[in-house]
Amino acid sequence: MLKRHDLEREFDRFIVGPGGAQANFGDARVTSAIGYLGKAVLKLDRTSSRLAVVNIVLTAVILAVGVVQIYLMLRGH
């Protein structure tokens, strides 16, 4: 399987135009659209990964705040 950087280079070649590896596609507009869609999917994947990390961190912070609140409630403050 290709790495993300290699995939971006492949999609860049699709965007540039026909010739070489994409000679089997008949329409340059279709080839270009495939390149743009592929790059959009890669960006969406990267953004989704970052959002997942932020979600995990925020969940941990909310749990920590809940533990502090329970501790303070039991102490009588």
Q: Where are the domains of the chain?
A: 4-75
The pLDDT of residue 50 is above 90 = yes
34/44 Cα distance (integer angstroms)? 15
Cα 61 to Cα 38, 40, 47, 69, 77, distances in angstroms: 35, 31, 21, 12, 21
Overall average pLDDT of the 40-46 stretch: 92
- Give the Cα-Cα-Cα angle 36, 39, 40 (nearest 5 degrees): 85
The pLDDT of residue 48 is above 90 = yes
pTM exceeding the 0.75 threshold for the entire prediction = no
The pLDDT of residue 55 is above 80 = yes
Percent of the chain clearing pLDDT 70 (strictly above): 84
Residues 6-27: tens digit of each pLDDT? 888 888 888 887 655 545 556 7
